[in-house]
Amino acid sequence: MIPLILYDIPSKLDGTYWSDNITKSRFVLGYKGLPFQVEWVELPDIAPRMKEIGARPNKLADGEEMYTLPVLSDPNTGALVTDSWEIAEYLEKTYPEKPIFSNKSKGLIYAFGNAVISLILPAAKFPIFRASQILNERSAEYYITTRQVMFKVKISEFSPEGPTRDEHWAIIERAFNTYKEWYDEEVGKWLMGDVISYADIFIGSILSWLKRVLHDNEWEKIVNWHDGKWGKLLADVEKECKKV
Amino acid sequence: MIPLILYDIPSKLDGTYWSDNITKSRFVLGYKGLPFQVEWVELPDIAPRMKEIGARPNKLADGEEMYTLPVLSDPNTGALVTDSWEIAEYLEKTYPEKPIFSNKSKGLIYAFGNAVISLILPAAKFPIFRASQILNERSAEYYITTRQVMFKVKISEFSPEGPTRDEHWAIIERAFNTYKEWYDEEVGKWLMGDVISYADIFIGSILSWLKRVLHDNEWEKIVNWHDGKWGKLLADVEKECKKV
pLDDT tens digit string along B80-91? 999 999 999 999
Where do runs of H (alpha helix) occur along A95-162?
A: 106-120, 125-131, 137-151
Report the alpha-carbon distance of residue A227 to residue A222 in Å, rounded.
10
Q: How confident is the model at residue B244 (pLDDT cuts 50, 70, 90)?
A: very low
Chain B residue closest in CA terms to A198? B108
- pLDDT score at A244: 47
Please state, for a pLDDT cut of 70, what percent of chain A lies above it.
99
What's the CA gap between B152 and B130, in Å, rounded? Answer: 17
Does A182 touch chain B if contact means CB atoms closer than 8 Å? yes
Q: Which amino acid is at B161?
A: E
Contact A112 B112 (CB under 8 A): yes
Is there a contact between A45 and A26 (Cβ–Cβ < 8 Å)? no
Q: Is A162 left (phi over 0), alpha (psi -120 to 50) or beta?
A: left
Nearest to A101 by CA among A119, A114, A116, A87: A87
Per-10-residue mean pLDDT for chain A, 244 residues long?
A: 97 95 98 97 98 95 91 98 98 98 96 96 97 97 96 96 98 98 96 96 98 98 97 97 74
Taking residues B119-132, report their average pLDDT. 97
Contact with chain B for residue A161, Cβ under 8 A: no
Average pLDDT, chain A: 96
- Overall CATH class of domain B102-240: mainly alpha
Tell me the pLDDT of chain B averaged across its residues. 96
Task: Please write the tens of the pLDDT for every residue from B207-242.
Answer: 999 999 999 999 999 999 999 999 999 999 999 998
Instruction: Give the residue from A99, A217, A116 showing the smallest Cα distance to A176.
Output: A116
Cβ A104–B188 below 8 Å, yes or no?
A: yes
Chain A contact present for B63, CB below 8 A:
no
* CB distance B100 to B30 below 8 Å: no
The Cβ-side half-sphere exposure at B219, using a 13 Å CA radius, reads: 15
ipTM of the prediction? 0.91
Angle CA A206–A157–A204, to nearest 5? 5
Task: Go through chain A and tell me how many residues it has.
Answer: 244
Q: State what percent of residues in chain B have pLDDT above 90.
A: 96
- What residue segments make up the domains of chain A, in order of their start? 4-94, 102-240
Residue B204 to chain A, least CA–CA distance (Å): 15
The CATH number given to A4-94 is 3.40.30.10
| H or E, element range at B235 | helix B229-240
B114: nearest CA partner in chain A: A115
Per-residue pLDDT band for B62 (boundaries 50, 70, 90) equals confident
User: Given an 8 Å threshold on Cβ–Cβ distance, is A107 in contact with B185?
Assistant: yes
Among residues A69, A61, A62, A22, the alpha carbon closest in space to that of A44 is found at A69
- CB contacts of B104 in chain A (<8 Å) are 103, 186, 188, 192-195
